[in-house]
Amino acid sequence: MSTSSSPLDAPLDVPLAAPRVAVIGAGPAGLYAADILLGQMPGAQIDVLEALPTPFGLIRYGVAPDHPRIRSIIDSLHEILDRGNVQFCGNITVGSDVTLDELRERYDLIVLATGALRDADLELPGVGLPGSFGAADFVAWYDSHPDYSQLWPLDAHSVAVIGNGNVALDIVRVLARRPEDLAKTDIPEHVSRAFADSPVRDIHVFGRRGPAAVKFSPLELRELGQVPGVRMVLEARDFQFDSADQAAMKANGRLRQAVKTMEQWLARAGKGEAGADERRIHLHFYCRPERIEGADKVTELLVRRTAPDGLGGVVDTDELRSFEVQAVYRAVGYFGSPVVGAPFDHGTGVVPNERGRVIDPEGGVVPGLYATGWIKRGPVGLIGSTKSDALETVNSIVEDLPRLRPAPLRQPEALTELLAARGVQVVTWPGWLAIDAAERAAGQLQGRERAKLATRAELLRAALTESENML
């Protein structure tokens, strides 16, 4: 990637008041950046390029299907694309269908918003055994991501989930739900059938630190306790708080609410008769996974008891505990999705940047290339953080605009002709609307709002029935 010029070069005679912009990634990060950019530069021509035939990113393929409150964010993202001044261009893979350099020849500036789609690594003996799964893969399966297999081995009656964040909660809640509860969601038939046959009865959730260090949101934690037919199981010894814990809870209202919810569960523990079909969720704190055991598949998780160090951290103890499980789900975070041809830090999983300006390996600014969202800052923060992050990147773009050089092939048809010559089937906004209509129609037949189309072939078939859906 050439870095011979810089956004700090001498101003152009004619500033790019109406730049042609490519945003790579149609999730919240990319769409919020496009929306904010249009607000500051109404004349901008913005194309949002997406590898999938569908928009909305992790809101469609990374949020549990029983979460309509969070998934309603799609409605606001839909409005951004439905206005007509931001063009959706789906089913385009940057790196194979078109290179980043080819895009830079055709767009004045590019915003990387590819997010973080794969699991962060967890160094743990036995992690590669069959029955050891990454959370991102499991979520993509039950959300019917078109690039994932439709098969998933839900054959464990005792499961371990490693992690104390909201993704761990999603996995636990979905595994614990009754089949009839999930049947009301938008999951396709193959996912519904798999959950209906699941024999799971015990779900063990492990956190290395104590209850005062969880990353659970209070609302999602309360929702977990409201799942029908579920009993929460906790240990009283985990709820002895030191001064560091007290300080953390005093400073963080959300954490305080989460701890209060778990203390209420603890107070109710053991009361009432256990039902024959009951599923139990065991929250284990101060437990550091030490190794996964098994010969040709997972049979056991060994954990080491930790203890508070008085400073908000933990130290190991000599206590080891063994749990018989047939599956382990690792919910320890996501890792960024690089764009071929763009700088990428493989240690941190982000595109190196300063306030959204992409930095090359030599430390220089790559002119006209920006980043926003999780690929910019890592997989942390909710929608509010994504919006403020996009605003920072857009502010950098606006500052740089008078000094950016225009792309030599910036006419709108330049990308169209290139992709057409390569036989790439591009799904535009009418194509997504056709997919949306097909999914809603399928859902209506089953008495629910939507039933997702499960494969890329099905999605493209629905999108490309009308010639106007092609670029």
Let me know whether 125 and 26 are in one domain: no
Let me know whether 77 and 133 are in one domain: no
Q: Which of 396, 411, 426 is the last residue of a domain?
A: 426
Instruction: Write down the pLDDT at residue 384.
Output: 74
Q: Is residue 54 part of a domain?
A: yes
Instruction: Write down the pLDDT at residue 255.
Output: 96
CA nearest neighbour of 234 among 176, 284, 288: 284
Q: Which of 297, 330, 363 is the last residue of a domain?
A: 330
Q: Which of 308, 330, 352 is the last residue of a domain?
A: 330
Let me know whether 188 and 80 are in one domain: no
Element spanning 415, H or E:
helix 413-421
Instruction: Write down the pLDDT at residue 271.
Output: 57
Let me know whether 325 and 369 are in one domain: no
Let me know whether 55 and 43 are in one domain: yes
Let me know whether 221 and 74 are in one domain: no
Tell me, what CATH number does 133's domain have? 3.50.50.60
Between strands 365-371 and 109-112, the pairing is: parallel
Let me know whether 237 and 160 are in one domain: yes
Instruction: Write down the pLDDT at residue 466.
Output: 52
Query: CB atoms < 10 A from the CB of 95, how many?
Result: 13
pLDDT in tens, 16-70: 668 999 999 999 999 999 999 999 999 899 999 999 999 999 999 988 888 877 7
Instruction: Write down the pLDDT at residue 56.
Output: 96
Tell me, what CATH number does 358's domain have? 3.40.50.720
Residue numbers of the domain that contains 240: 121-330
Let me know whether 397 and 253 are in one domain: no
CA nearest neighbour of 47 among 62, 33, 61: 33
Q: What's the token pair of residue 287? A: 């437990």
Let me know whether 240 and 323 are in one domain: yes
The stretches in the chain having pLDDT less than 70 are 1-17, 270-277, 465-471
Q: What's the token pair of residue 152? A: 């998933």
* C-alpha separations of 135 from 76, 132, 327, 331 in Å: 27, 10, 12, 5
Instruction: Write down the pLDDT at residue 145.
Output: 95
Q: How many domains does the chain have?
A: 2
Let me know whether 244 and 140 are in one domain: yes
Q: Is residue 407 part of a domain?
A: yes
**Considering the entire predicted model, what is its pTM?**
0.90
Contact call for residues 9 and 34 (beta carbons, < 8 A): no
Let me know whether 255 and 354 are in one domain: no
Q: Is residue 100 part of a domain?
A: yes
Q: Is residue 300 part of a domain?
A: yes
Q: Is residue 172 part of a domain?
A: yes
Let me know whether 103 and 237 are in one domain: no
Instruction: Write down the pLDDT at residue 188.
Output: 84
In which region does residue 333 sit, left (phi positive, over 0), alpha (psi from -120 to 50) or beta (all else)?
Answer: left
Q: What's the token pair of residue 185? A: 């969601």
Dist. CA 141–CA 408, nearest whole Å = 42
Q: Is residue 452 part of a domain?
A: no
Q: Is residue 441 part of a domain?
A: no
383-400 vs 28-40: helix crossing angle, rounded to 10: 40
Q: Is residue 456 part of a domain?
A: no
* C-alpha separations of 116 from 109, 119, 280 in Å: 22, 8, 31
